[in-house]
Structure 1
Amino acid sequence: MWLRPLRFLGFAMLLCTLLPWGCTRKAVSFNSNPDQPATAELVADTLVRTTDTVKGQPSLSTARKVVISKEQERAAKEAEKEAQRKPKKKKKVFLGEKIKRAYTKTGPKGRNQIVEVFYYLKYPQPINDYAPAHYYYDTKKHKILKLASVEEDAPTLKILHGPYKKLQNNKVLETGYYALGTRHLRWERFDKNGVLLSKVHYEMGFPRDANVSYYGEDRSLINEVVPYVNGKLEGDYAKFLINGQADWRGQFENGKRVGVWTKYWGFRNRRRYEYQYAESGYDPEVAEPELIREYNRNAVIIYDKEKNIDKRGQPEAEDRPGMRRPVPRAAPKATPKRSK
């Protein structure tokens, strides 16, 4: 039994002898040449470059400082401001004139409501007195008006100028363009199914196929405008005096006179007589039109059939003392279309 402690003591002494030898670091050389001594070479750290150091010490910032001129700096600031600016809205311009958009709605709400989208001049411009008809937007009544004479002193009337579109139930019924209050370029009409009904080309109010006659050889004064479309009388008719004032204005449809035809005094575009023809060109033609209104030289109504006004022959209705009231004249006959 006394030999067991001696056995453990001998084993402990053996461990104490071998432990220092096992913890000693042994140099290992990977040099294939056994004649050269194994030496430890110091290799520079590849993670740190000379460009990343300041006076030999590592730098936390590796960004290089770029030197630019004042002109380049100013140009960079301007480019930055330009990029931050909001894009400007394009101005609405048609044929060189600034325009504004508007629309009107007529009829009951729903599918049967008619919507007209159009544009008018932002600033008034002089328009052609010879045009067969002039179109305005009445800002007070919110409707488009077709007038025979030029209205210059009416602040609520805006001259139509630009694209026009007529819609019903989101379907196009009519498209065209206005230019300085007159119809211009191509105008098209469609039915509710999108079928083309008619197509007319205008040049500043005059149909492209219209017969236009002039006073004199210089062709500066218009005598008569007879509208023709596809060889048939269709559109606005106008006849002028040599002084440029209107003499007659009316409208043809399907080769017949329709609506109201107006005879003028010959100065200031003042009306004298108004005759009523059939409402449609597809109704029987009226041989003798009916006088519905008459005006004196001061633009005062002296006869109105609808309002039962008849002051003809009365002293207060006379224009000048001793002046005889002329007999109403019938509308002139349309000039036949000349062959081109």
Structure 2
Amino acid sequence: MNSSFIDWGRLLLVGLVLSLAFPVTGEAQIITKDKKKIFFWQRDKDLVDLTPAADTMAVLDSLGMPSLAVATKDSLAEEEKNNKKSKKKKAYFGYRVKKGFARQGKGKNQIVETFHYLREFQQPNSYAPEKYYFDIKKRDVLRTFNFTLKPNQAYILHGPYTRMRGDVVIEQGYFYKGTKHLRWETFRTDSTLASKLHYEKGFPRDAVISYYDAAKTKIKEVIPYQYGEVQGQYLKFYEDGQLEWRGTYDKGRKVGTWSHFYDYRGRLQHEFQYPESAYDKPAEPVLTKHYDAYGVLVYEKKN
């Protein structure tokens, strides 16, 4: 009996030791895991705030495009990174470009234009109200309305553009296949901002565009809007794509010269004159010029 009692005592003692050793270790492991979960959860809670800024114009400003005054990368920064080894293969908006310069005048008032143009010629959108190109013969950056450009005549502007007078930037923006795109800024001689406009491949960004067809390939009318008002250049087209009307709105009123065209080779038919600005006294339009279908001036109002 005494030996049996001793044996049972030894077993109880061993069991007690095991129960005190292993459960404590297991509990410690669970606590350790719980602590890790708590720390991990606390780190996840610290998220980046993506709430839009109070200035909604900053959020909507040209698809988030930075001003060229402070930008160090264009909208295709990733593509430029891939082309660092070969500076000759820069691309903007998916198209390879070359860099060019144009100069006018001398001294402090010299105008220097820095631009980019498409390596491979592409005709600008025929509906775009203004097309910009570098004239190879005249060696100057020019603008056209209805003229069809030719590869041996023009380099189509595409990418960043800067116009400087001396050391002062007076205009900057981006081109897309010969049309103004994203944010465009003009500056006074003291470098203060004079104006800022936004474009979407040649058209005012906030313009209301209507079409002749459901596929939206034939533009009918372009009504420009800025800050909720009809403001800027108005365009209306014939169904075949030729321009019918071109004019300017100022605070919802027709101003300046309005032109009406024949549906034949884009030839001008009439010019009407409205008050110069929205601040002038309202007046009926005055016919100032009339051309026949051959482009011959048949009437001109005398001053």
TM-score, scaled to structure 2: 0.61
Give the one of 172, 188, 193 matched to 2:190: 193
The answer on 1:297 being equivalent to 2:296 is no
Q: CA, structure 1 residues 220+90, in 2 after alignment: closer, same or farther (shift >3 Å)?
A: closer
Cα displacement (A) at 1:305: 6.2
Question: Structure 1's 213 and 177: CA in aligned 2 closer, same or farther, altered over 3 A?
Answer: same
Give the distance between the partners of 1:285 and 1:123, measured in 2 at CA.
50
| Contact 1:119 1:164 (8 Å CA) reproduced | yes
Secondary structure at the residue paired with 2:271? strand
Structure 1 contact 148–249 (Cα < 8 Å) conserved: no
Question: 2:35 is matched with which residue?
Answer: none
Deviations 1:105-138 (A, max 9, x none): 345x333333222222333213212212222222
State the distance in 2 between where 1:118 and 1:258 align: 32
Aligned-pair CA distance for 1:272: 1.8
Question: What's the offset of the Cα at 1:224?
Answer: 0.8
Residues 1:118 and 2:108 aligned together:
no
Decide whether aligned partners of structure 1 residues 147 and 289 sit closer, same or farther in structure 2, where only a CA change above 3 A counts.
Answer: farther
Identify if the C-alpha distance between structure 1 residues 92 and 253 changes in structure 2 by more than 3 Å, giving closer, same or farther: farther
Q: Which sits farther off after the overlay, 170-179 or 122-131?
A: 122-131
On the 8 A contact 1:247/1:266 being kept in 2, the answer is yes
Aligned equivalents of 2:152 and 2:183: distance in 1? 29
Among residues 210, 229, 234, which one is paired with 1:232 in the alignment?
229
After TM superposition, give the deviation of residue 273 of structure 1 in Å.
2.1
Residue among 127, 135, 140 paired with 1:138: 135
Q: Could you list the per-position Cα deviations for residues 272-322 of structure 1 after superposition, in whole angstroms to 9, with x for gaps in the alignment? A: 2233455x537626734444443332334444669x9xxxxxxxxxxxxxx
Aligned to 2:88: 90
TM-score calculated relative to the size of structure 1: 0.55
Give the CA deviation at 1:249.
1.4
| Letter in structure 2 aligned against 1:224 | E
> Could you tell me which residue of structure 1 aligns to residue 261 of structure 2?
264
Counterpart amino acid of residue 238 in structure 1: L
Residues 121 and 159 of structure 1 are in contact (CA less than 8 Å); yes or no, is this contact kept in structure 2?
yes
Q: 2:241 aligns with which of 244, 255, 258?
A: 244
Whole-Å Cα distance in 2 between the matches of residues 192 and 262 of structure 1?
33
Count of matched residue pairs: 219
Structure 2: how far apart are the matches of 1:301 and 1:219? 36
- Give distance in 2, aligned partners of 1:89 and 1:158: 19
Compared CA separation, residues 223 and 111, structure 1 to 2 (3 A): same
Name the counterpart of 2:98. Answer: 100
Does residue 179 (structure 1) correspond to residue 176 (structure 2)? The answer is: yes
Task: Please tell me whether the aligned partners of residues 259 and 269 of structure 2 are also in contact (alpha carbons under 8 angstroms).
Answer: yes
Q: Distance in 1 between matches of 2:278 and 2:189?
A: 21
**Residues 153, 303 of structure 1: alpha-carbon distance in 2 compared, 3 angstrom cutoff:** farther
Question: Residues 101 and 302 of structure 1: is their aligned pair in 2 closer, same or farther, counting only changes over 3 Å?
Answer: farther
Q: How does 1:22-171 map to 2 (within 5 A)?
A: 88-107=86-105, 109-153=106-150, 155-171=152-168
Task: Classify the secondary structure of the residue corresponding to 1:267.
Answer: coil
Alpha-carbon separation, structure 2, partners of 1:198 and 1:90: 33
Aligned-CA RMSD value: 3.0
Residues of 2 paired with 1:154 and 1:178: CA distance? 18
Equivalent in the alignment of 2:202: 205
Contact map agreement 2:255 2:278 (CA 8 A) in 1? no
Q: Output the CA distance in 1 between the equivalents of 2:258 and 2:93.
A: 32
How far apart, in 2, do the equivalents of 1:274 and 1:124 lie?
34
Find the aligned partners of 1:304 and 1:157 in 2 and give their Cα distance. Answer: 34
Alignment of structure 1 residues 299-314 onto 2, 5 Å: 299-303=295-299
Q: Does 1:222 align with 2:214?
A: no
The answer on whether the counterparts of 2:175 and 2:181 sit within 8 Å (CA) in structure 1 is yes
Task: State the partner residue of 1:275.
Answer: 272
Aligned amino acid, residue 251 of structure 1: T
Secondary structure of the residue aligned to 1:224 is strand
Letter in 2 for 1:294: H
**What runs of 5+ residues in structure 2 fail to find an aligned partner?**
1-84
**Residue 179 of structure 1: how far off its partner (Å):** 0.8
By relative contact order (CA 8 Å, sep 6+), the higher-ranking structure is 2
Q: Report the AA paired with residue 221 of structure 2.
A: E
Shift, 1:95, TM fit: 2.4
Q: Distance in 2 between matches of 1:285 and 1:131?
A: 32
Distance across 2 between alignment mates of 1:174 and 1:223: 31
Give the residue type in structure 2 aligned to 1:185: L
